[in-house]
Chains A and B, each alone.
Chain A
Amino acid sequence: TQLLEQSPQFLSIQEGENLTVYCNSSSVFSSLQWYRQEPGEGPVLLVTVVTGGEVKKLKRLTFQFGDARKDSSLHITAAQTGDTGLYLCAGVGEGDKLSFGAGTTVTVRA
């Protein structure tokens, strides 16, 4: 059983559309991270959210940490083909242990 559940598992959209990826857990985390992974490469950290209710923006990407620090979402506005990749959320728990979700594969079609 996955500690962190990501949904949807796959997402295919047209360039210019918006998308949201969700990361949910029954556990509380001290912080939550989002990574993007491209084929043949390791995950690259996009953002860390720390405070319950926190919202962080990175250009067209908006990350939100739930008030109870159990869930998070990633919203991409006006998606571009370069946003294609596997998006992973990871919760930082006791002892700074990182637990990953299974990931959401995002495909942005031209």
Chain B
Amino acid sequence: EAQVTQNPRYLITVTGKKLTVTCSQNMNHEYMSWYRQDPGLGLRQIYYSMNVEVTDKGDVPEGYKVSRKEKRNFPLILESPSPNQTSLYFCASSSPRDRECYTFGSGTRLTVV
């Protein structure tokens, strides 16, 4: 089944403790992206990647890092999480043939205390 898989689904952590949220897709998509979803603000793009080793900042990149060493994986790294990064995070991917057709993961709900 074609899908985007995120792990973990839920995470509670403390301020300053480094964490990584993994994202993997099995559709051989070049384009991958991370979003955060907050009430009243919709989805805002954090980082995106056009292909392996090519990443760029989205609208709200502060406090986040990403890497794209392989086509299928696009982890989101929070080096020193803070409470304002408490949010629902989504990974998405799309193919160059149909760039507008995004497949989203099921989300990771992160709480930073």
B42-A43 in contact (CB<8A): no
B104-A44 in contact (CB<8A): yes
Q: How far, in Å, is A33 (CB) from chain B's closest CB?
A: 7
Q: Please count the residue pairs between chain A and chain B whose beta carbons lie under 8 angstroms apart in the complex.
A: 45
Distance in angstroms between the alpha carbons of A45 and B104 in the assembled complex:
9
Cβ–Cβ < 8 Å partners of A100 in chain B = 35, 42-44
Of chain B, the residue at the smallest CB distance from A88 is B42
- Quick one: which of A1-56 are within 8 Å of B by CB? 2, 4, 9, 31, 33, 40-45, 48
Interface of B is mostly: strand
Chain B interface size, as a band, is 10 to 19
Q: How far, in Å, is B110 (CB) from chain A's closest CB?
A: 14
Name 29 A/B residue pairs within 8 A (Cβ), A-sorted: A2-B42, A4-B42, A9-B40, A31-B100, A33-B100, A40-B107, A41-B107, A42-B4, A42-B90, A42-B92, A42-B104, A42-B107, A43-B90, A43-B102, A44-B104, A45-B101, A88-B42, A88-B43, A90-B43, A92-B100, A96-B99, A96-B100, A97-B45, A98-B45, A98-B100, A100-B42, A101-B42, A102-B41, A103-B42
